[in-house]
Amino acid sequence: PSNSQDMEDSCGVRRANCRAKGGAPGFKVAILGAAGGIGQPLAMLMKINPLVSVLHLYDVVNSPGVTADISHMDTGAVVRGFLGQAQLESALTGMDLVIIPAGVPRKPGMTRDDLFNINAGIVKTLCEGIAKSCPRAVVNLISNPVNSTVPIAAEVFKKAGTYDPKRLLGVTMLDVVRANTFVAEVLGLDPRDVDVPVVGGHAGVTILPLLSQVKPPSSFTQEEVEYLTNRIQNGGTEVVEAKAGAGSATLSMAYAAVKFADACLRGLRGDAAVVECAFVSSQVTELPFFASKVRLGRNGAEEVFQLGPLNEYERVGLEKAKKELAASIQKGVSFIRK
């Protein structure tokens, strides 16, 4: 190689080839919005993930700096940076998994739906890129409002003729992470030992924790049920208010995104019984999209699980959730079909 950039590229190729020859499981992952509040810690955590062999960091600003920084970490993944629309195609070509935390976050007083006007267009553009450059990739969509951006992505892929419902997953993992934390606090348990299914969607009343199905099996007073449901549904707002104008959850979200992406990669590798909650194309209710437990496999969300038995409080919550979700889904679909 004639200069240091060529030398770095050549070493990257040699390292990537070396991993491939050794038969080590290595997936190619792109993060779109990698220089943002979520994107940066997410990129750092994915660089540590042993299942990742190549990590592409794409943003419309600052991705060269983030890439230079992360690329000095002495972990296995080869990191490459991409800046601006002209490099989107190169960022996406060959990717197995694409994680999207691109878009504006909330400020106090806003709902997630207030982000629709800006983020819908961003998600549309990025998904058009995916349809063109890596149509078989599994997509983890984080950008809000998730209840609308997932239907937008589905419509973009349908238009392009590349839609595979199993490969499009809205990330609701942060709701589960919060639910596990808050429920563990109430029960006096280690959060790592607690599993709370959270179904529905990712905004306010559409976030429906199923406290009757908590593992280990637990009972709660009505007061505890109301406190926990309310805190889980408003966890995002709690962070937005505490950050007082400086954005929304980024660190806990990056943690949740990596937990979810890692589950997707283990599924792609062929591990058995990888199950997490996600907002996906669904026949669990009459709505076309719904969050529930899904089994992640070689093709993405290979099985979407039913909700299981609900108590009266959860049945009432489900009706409220479905009403709001139906409107948010329709709004996303209309944005592309209009």
- Which partner from the list ligand LMR, ligand NAD, none does 287 bind, CB cut-off 5 to 8 Å by kind? none
Strand partners, 277: 293
Based on the shown chain and the rule CB under 6 A, indicate whether residue 46 belongs to the binding site for ligand NAD: no
**Residue 272, phi then psi, degrees to nearest 5:** -85, 155
26 versus 31: smaller Cβ distance to ligand NAD:
31
Based on the shown chain and the rule CB under 6 A, indicate whether residue 147 belongs to the binding site for ligand NAD: no
Which one of residues 30, 31, 32, 198 is an interface residue with ligand NAD (CB under 6 A)?
32
State the CB neighbour count (10 A cutoff) for residue 17.
10
Residue positions annotated with a catalytic role: 202
Dihedral, CA of residue 275, residue 277, residue 278 and residue 282, to nearest 10:
80
- Which partner from the list ligand LMR, ligand NAD, none does 239 bind, CB cut-off 5 to 8 Å by kind? ligand LMR
**Sign (positive/negative) of CA torsion 329, 333, 296, 308?**
positive
State the CB neighbour count (10 A cutoff) for residue 51.
21
Retrieve residue 270's tokens.
């062929």
State the CB neighbour count (10 A cutoff) for residue 285.
18
Based on the shown chain and the rule CB under 6 A, indicate whether residue 247 belongs to the binding site for ligand NAD: yes
- # residues near ligand NAD by CB under 6 A: 33
What helix, strand, coil percent values describe the chain, rounded to 5? Answer: 50, 20, 30
To the question of whether residue 317 is assigned a binding role by annotation, the answer is no
Which one of residues 76, 105, 151, 201 is an interface residue with ligand NAD (CB under 6 A)?
105
Minimum distance from CB of 252 to ligand NAD (Å)?
Answer: 8
Strand partners, 58: 32, 82
Retrieve residue 314's tokens.
């959860």
Which one of residues 81, 103, 200, 300 is an interface residue with ligand NAD (CB under 6 A)?
103
Minimum distance from CB of 225 to ligand NAD (Å)?
Answer: 23
Based on the shown chain and the rule CB under 6 A, indicate whether residue 104 belongs to the binding site for ligand NAD: yes
Based on the shown chain and the rule CB under 6 A, indicate whether residue 253 belongs to the binding site for ligand NAD: yes
- Which partner from the list ligand LMR, ligand NAD, none does 240 bind, CB cut-off 5 to 8 Å by kind? ligand LMR
Cα–Cα distance for residue pair 287/326, rounded to 1 Å:
7
Minimum distance from CB of 29 to ligand NAD (Å)?
Answer: 15
Judged by DSSP in three states, 285 sits in coil
Based on the shown chain and the rule CB under 6 A, indicate whether residue 248 belongs to the binding site for ligand NAD: yes
Cα–Cα distance for residue pair 296/278, rounded to 1 Å:
10
Residues that bind ligand LMR (CB under 6 A): 105-106, 112, 144, 174, 235-236, 239-240, 248-249
To the question of whether residue 142 is assigned a binding role by annotation, the answer is yes
Retrieve residue 158's tokens.
């349908």
User: Which long-range contacts link 313-316 to residues 24+ away (Cβ below 8 Å)?
Assistant: 313/222, 313/225, 313/229, 314/208, 314/210, 314/211, 314/212
The binding site for NAD(+) consists of 33-39, 59, 119, 142-144, 253
The binding site for substrate consists of 106, 112, 144, 178
Contact residues: ligand NAD, CB under 6 A? 32-33, 35-39, 59-61, 101-106, 115, 119, 122, 125-126, 142-144, 146, 171, 174, 202, 247-250, 253
